[in-house]
Structure 1
Amino acid sequence: MLNFTYKNQTEILFGKGQLSEVPARLPKEAKVLFLYGGGSIKQNGVYEQVVTALEGIEVVEFAGVEPNPEFETLMKAVRVARETEVNFILAVGGGSVIDGAKFIAAAVNFDGDTWDILTKGASFENPLPVGAVLTLPATGSESNGNSVVTRKETAQKLPFSSESLQPQFAVLDPEFTYSLPARQISNGVVDAFVHVIEQYLTYPVNAPLQDRFAEGILQTLIEVGPLALDHPTDYDVRANVMWSATMALNGLIGKGVPQDWSTHMIGHELTALHGLDHAVTLAIVLPALMYVQRDQKKVKILQLGERVFGIDNGSEDERIDLTIKAVQDFFESMQVATRLSDHSIAESSIDNIVANLERNGMTALGEHGDIDLDKARQILTLAA
């Protein structure tokens, strides 16, 4: 097992009615930037519940954070936060809103070009504290310091991370997910599944507890994911989806083990250039990447097949093929198509995708740093 440090500062407020606990966790004389997305929280009643919970507290609203939050929109929120001198950000929504809140928190007191935070890893000081009310389980952003921001002007989607941006608390009420469209539930389950895979499907380092944690999350998602589509108001189903998505990327299962994240990095370019949903890009890339990297990942692919999918008959090559197919079939069972052509992306577009990987410095991806541009091209061609 590799050396690690682990601290998770996020207080999880899980279950029905936990929104009422938010005021007690805000700073004295709080002035809150209430950040949300396209307005769905006004249709499902969450907005009214948040307003009620914040009654008596000074609040500045900012709406319109997009899926794959856009730099241009977030900079408008930064200007509002600076002008109104808010001292706390409450992000109400899915991972995109929470990611956006983290960037705003970092940028408010940043002196310089805020895009440098993403492109150059520029350091920042005194970020605003963030809290989250989760309405779409998927990214795990409610309990980690990660953020991804898209800039339309340059067709770039870039990540950054800091423990200082991790939400101080997160409200996880499964009832807030009842009204989600099927597409968003599908995306959320696939996203969480691939988060686990990126921390699990590498090579063994004698970390059996982390492996078992990861396999448990994968098995739970495989079990409850399709049920969430069929039974949208089943509290227990939604609770298990929500908690699985949080546990998939709160840092625990990735401690002491090598990680990959190449599926995400390649997928980001599909979003930046073609506007695909984040989870859709992961479902396209992962099966092809598993095939291309089958030798490097052989031991863990075989373990995944046996422990998660019950694949234990046949030669190693046969079991690897069956495991890759099982992953692909799971994505399809979640109603997420897994080929570029399914999304009207022609094979001729691969040149532009590979060029964007090069422009963004994504030329040595994977746990071994061996996914270069040629391998990325192989993966994308296989996924066509």
Structure 2
Amino acid sequence: MTFTYYSPSELVFGVGAERQLERLLKEHRATSILLIYSGDYVFDLGIHDVVQAAAASVHAHLIENGDVVPNPRIDLVRSLIERAREHQVDFVLAAGGASAFDTAKAVGVGVPYHGDVWELFDGSALPETTLPVGVISTIPGSGSELSDCAVLQQGQDKRALETRVVIPKFAIVNPEYSRTAPYRYQAAAVADLAVGFLEPYFTAEDHLEAADRLLEGGFIAALTQGERFAHDPADIKTRTELHWLSATMFNHCFLATGSTNDWTTHRLEHALGGRFDLIHGEGIAAILPSIIRYVAGRQPERYAQLVVRTLGADPYDLTPEQAANLLADRLEAYFSELDLATRLGDLDITDDDFEDIAEELTHGDAQTVGNYSPLNKADVLAVLKLAL
């Protein structure tokens, strides 16, 4: 129950937040900036013009790359590290969502590291320093804009690097910038947002009651705004709420302090996403209800508490296991309302690779997955089959 909370990040939030970019670049003494993004949205939204003008105002050289893809790849990161070194980049700026941010974070730690950047993700080494990174958000949900985490993929191997070193120095969040986000990607991010409150909530260890209440409130808010988004994706007020939840309440650096987080859902999704190239939130929606249903048979207590406190279930009418299954049903209905698949079969996934996935996740059944109710190889297989 002892911890240190620290965040060096500055959040500039609201319409017109991008006007602070020149000041922020000047404060971080940027002289050579690498801009990372994907797609044409940076031009359609005027972000590219803003960045160009800010870079010119601080007399910084601007290099850019727009090749980021969902589930960002190590190959692009390696090439950007070399390019950054060639141009003596001293600031990395990303515009977009988690994929752009995670790419920028990986480049940031990769430039000063003398080995291959993948070593920082597979656990062979730990980053000691980074180039400063700033982000401009165009889609809420991931929380990566202020988090201490970056996710990267090499082949089918998807890994997360968690360290305070990668926390962005600033995040610019103008809710108007998410107006062009494709519905599918935004809906997936909204699903991820809701689940972000649950990974720290599902804990069997001693923890702070105050954190429970904050997580419960965030979960309710995320469900409420997600439902409003499903009904009217263009509503600026709803998107403002989602951006605020993503940038602050979801950020597990704050809400997960003092507890052992579960991460079962994310670890299973990373394995599935790496193998089948799923959008992260889509994989989350397809696997989480089945995880809850499976674990409910042996450890339903935290699931039951959550559904009673947040979704109005009556603890006197239901056993803990029944309440836990009700939570799975409610989440499944929520994901369906967002028009997301709630079964792996709906994503054209069969059980052909399940044995390999379970073997890899558990390192040949030598390790378990997750912390709330750890899953061995047989458990992982059972969950995956239940999710078909």
- TM-score interval for Structure 1 and Structure 2 normalised by the shorter chain: over 0.9
- CA–CA distance in 1 between the matches of 2:30 and 2:293? 55
TM-score (norm 1): 0.94
2:73 matched residue in structure 1: 70
Give the match for residue 270 of structure 1. Answer: 272
Q: Does 1:20 align with 2:23?
A: no
Paired residue for 2:9?
10
In structure 2, the residue corresponding to 1:305 is in which secondary structure? helix
Query: 1:362 and 1:3, CA in 2 relative to 1: closer, same or farther beyond 3 A?
Result: farther
Partner in structure 1 of residue 121 of structure 2: 118
2:322 matched to 1:318? yes
Shift of 1:129: 0.6
The correspondence of residues 75-154 of structure 1 with structure 2, limited to 5 A, is: 75-152=78-155
Alpha-carbon shift at residue 164 of structure 1 (Å): 1.5
- Tell me the SS of whatever aligns to 2:95: strand
SS at match of 1:142: coil
Q: Is residue 177–residue 238 contact of structure 1 (8 Å, CA) maintained in 2?
A: yes
Deviation at 1:255, TM superposition (A): 0.6
Moved more, 255-264 or 122-131: 122-131
* 8 Å Cα contact 2:227/2:334 also seen in 1: no
User: How many angstroms apart in 2 are the aligned matches of 1:108 and 1:251?
Assistant: 24
Q: Is the 8 A contact 2:365 2:377 kept in 1?
A: no
Residue in structure 2 matching 1:291, options 277, 290, 293: 293
1:276 counterpart letter in structure 2: L
Please tell me whether the aligned partners of residues 202 and 372 of structure 2 are also in contact (alpha carbons under 8 angstroms).
no
1:48 aligns with 2:49: yes
2: CA distance between counterparts of 1:71 and 1:299?
Answer: 40
Q: Which residue of 1 aligns with 2:352?
A: 348
CA offset at residue 132 of structure 1?
0.7
- Partner of 1:74: helix, strand, or coil? helix
Distance 1:360 1:282 in 2: 24
1:322-375 superposed Cα distances (whole Å, 9 cap, x missing partner): 121011111111111111110111123312322332459993122157311111
Question: Cα 1:158–1:184, aligned 2, differ >3 Å: closer, same or farther?
Answer: same
Is the Cα contact below 8 Å between 1:204 and 1:300 reproduced in 2? no
Letter in 1 for 2:237: D
Match of 2:302 in 1: 300
Aligned residue number for residue 224 of structure 2: 223
Letter in 1 for 2:361: L
What's the CA shift for 1:296?
Answer: 5.3
Structure 2 residue aligned with 1:339:
343
Letter in 1 for 2:269: G
Displacement, 1:216?
A: 1.1
Q: TM-score, normalised by structure 2?
A: 0.93
Residue 378 of structure 2 aligns with an amino acid whose one-letter code is D
| Structure 1 residues 89 and 142: alpha-carbon distance in aligned structure 2, compared to 1, 3 A threshold | same
Q: 1 CA distance for matches of 2:318 and 2:232?
A: 38
1:174-323 alignment to 2 at 5 Å?
174-203=175-204, 205=206, 207-246=208-247, 247-295=249-297, 297-312=299-314, 314-316=317-319, 317-323=321-327
User: Aligned partners of 2:325, 2:158: CA distance in 1, in Å?
Assistant: 32
Q: Which moved more, 1:356-365 or 1:92-101?
A: 356-365
Task: Determine the C-alpha separation between the residues in 1 that align with 2:301 and 2:36.
Answer: 44
Provide, for residues 233-285 of structure 1, a one-character-per-residue CA deviation record: whole Å limited to 9, x for no partner: 32221111111122212411101122100111111111111111111111122
Code of the residue aligned with 1:311 in structure 2: it is A
Distance 1:361 1:132 in 2: 39
Moved more, 25-34 or 9-18: 25-34
Q: Conserved in 2, the CA contact under 8 Å of 1:89 and 1:105?
A: yes
Q: Deviations over 1:113-132 (max 9, x none)?
A: 22211113412343101111
CA contact (8 A) 1:190 1:283 kept: yes
Q: What does residue 34 of structure 1 align with?
A: 35
Structure 1: which amino acid aligns with 2:337?
S
Q: Cα gap change, 1:262/1:318 in structure 2, threshold over 3 Å: closer, same or farther?
A: closer
Stretch of structure 1 that moved more, 355-364 or 374-383: 355-364
Q: Report the AA paired with residue 257 of structure 1.
A: S
* CA–CA separation in structure 2 for the residues paired with 1:338 and 1:366: 21
2:370 partner SS: coil
Q: How high is the sequence identity, in percent, across the aligned residues?
A: 27
| Range with bigger deviation, 18-27 or 86-95 | 18-27
Letter in 1 for 2:183: A
Aligned-partner Cα distance in 1 for 2:333–2:299: 20
Quote the Cα distance in structure 2 between the aligned partners of 1:8 and 1:172: 17
Alpha-carbon distance in structure 1 between the residues aligned to 2:306 and 2:374 = 22
Whole-Å separation in 1 of the counterparts to 2:358 and 2:207? 35
Contact 1:134–1:171 (8 Å) recurs in 2:
yes
Cα RMSD (Å) of the superposition? 1.9
3-state SS, counterpart of residue 59 of structure 1: strand
Amino acid at match of 1:307: R
**Number of paired residues?**
381
Q: Which amino acid aligns with 2:45?
A: N
Question: Which runs of no fewer than 5 residues in structure 1 stay unpaired?
Answer: none
Q: Distance in 1 between matches of 2:365 and 2:198?
A: 23
User: Equivalents in 2 of 1:256, 1:125: separation in Å?
Assistant: 24
Name the SS of the counterpart of 1:252 in structure 2: helix
Q: Which moved more, 1:55-64 or 1:74-83?
A: 55-64
